[in-house]
Amino acid sequence: MKRASDATPIGELRLFDTCVTLGALSTDNEALGVDNVLEILDKHDICEALVHNNEARVVYPRERGNIRLLDWVKGCDRLHPVWALDPIGSPDVSSARSMVAAMLEAGVRAARLMMGVAPPFLWVWDSLCTALDERHIPCMLDFAPVRDRTVATTQSTPDELMMNELRSICLAHPELPMVLSNVSGGRGLAWCTLALMREVPNLHIDTSCIIDYWRTAYRELGPERVFFATGMPFYDPSIFVSMIQYADDVALVDKQAMCGGNIRRLMEAVQ
């Protein structure tokens, strides 16, 4: 590892974590609440974070956990709430528009789409994605097969068939920003991941669990396609902070885009 003096000064990165889970867990990881997550953000010089409630991911109805999240982060400008969403059961897009309008009215400007539960078939997700697309809401794609409280982690690796189905959604909603979130865990990604990202410019990827793959995406597709994320509390954030901070083959302006500029730009574009 390079000497500390050779690292990019951490304050220049303005780190914005796009994958943080709050609330009770069914794993051995220490659960995060507003108080201790702020301590951890401070420890690792992370300025802001997108946060979702684990209850909303693993317990129906999801609305209960989503609403509880708003109470937790109220008054904390550094924590930005993300609602976990399932597709609308009715093909009528008006119901989806009502859901999205309520989300925006509550101050929620990012969504976490539960594609590990409801598979990424266009006909399943089309109504909700239409409503999200109209308002340009950035969407984190959660492929973890969460079906009950026994599975909490956000990590999962979509296979080639799921990526093929995701392609249809991306093509049908080209203005909807989508981010593959926590999709490796060290086992590697589907071969077609980068090929799909080349074909659909609205698909992005975050750095959580992909120690090297983000570099490939950065080199071949540009810094605007990569988003900084740690996957806390399931992973040690220091790993993901240092791999960006000490990357001597990445220009500072590109680091700044990946570390926060990209997500801030997308959230500012929400209508």
- Which residues are CB-contacts of 53 (< 8 A; sequence separation ≥ 6)? 21, 22, 23, 65, 66, 68, 69, 72, 84
70 domain residue, yes or no: yes
Dihedral sign, Cα of residue 245, residue 182, residue 111, residue 124? positive
1 domain residue, yes or no: no
119 domain residue, yes or no: yes
**Domain span including residue 183:** 13-268
**Cα–Cα distance measured from residue 93 to residue 126, given in angstroms and rounded to the nearest whole number:** 8
87 domain residue, yes or no: yes
Give me the pLDDT at residue 33, please: 86
Exposure pattern of 13-29 as b/e (b: 16+ CB <10 Å)? bbbbbbbbbbbebeeee
22 domain residue, yes or no: yes
- Burial grade of 183 (CB within 10 A; 0-12, 13-18, 19 or more): buried
5 domain residue, yes or no: no
List C-alpha distances in Å: 269 to 109, 161, 245, 265.
10, 31, 27, 6
In 3D space, the residue among 27, 21, 70, 71 whose CA is nearest the CA of residue 49 turns out to be 21
Give me the pLDDT at residue 4, please: 46
Give me the pLDDT at residue 1, please: 40
Number of structural domains found in the chain: 1
**Cα–Cα distance measured from residue 93 to residue 76, given in angstroms and rounded to the nearest whole number:** 33
The predicted model scores a pTM of 0.92
Q: pLDDT 10s per residue in the chain (271 long)? A: 444 446 899 999 999 999 999 988 766 667 888 889 999 999 999 999 999 999 998 888 999 999 999 999 999 999 999 999 999 887 789 999 999 999 999 999 999 999 988 999 999 999 999 999 999 999 999 998 775 555 567 778 888 999 999 999 999 999 999 999 988 755 568 889 999 999 999 999 999 867 778 888 999 999 999 999 999 988 889 989 998 999 999 999 999 999 999 999 999 999 8
Give me the pLDDT at residue 208, please: 83
234 domain residue, yes or no: yes
**Cα–Cα distance measured from residue 180 to residue 140, given in angstroms and rounded to the nearest whole number:** 6
184 domain residue, yes or no: yes
One-letter identity of residue 51: V
The 10 Å Cβ neighbour count of residue 252 is 11
Where are the alpha helices (H) located in the chain, listed in sequence order?
A: 34-43, 54-58, 62-73, 93-105, 122-134, 160-172, 193-199, 213-221, 237-245, 252-256, 262-268
CATH number at 150 reads: 3.20.20.140
Per the CB < 8 A criterion, the answer to whether 139 and 178 are in contact is yes
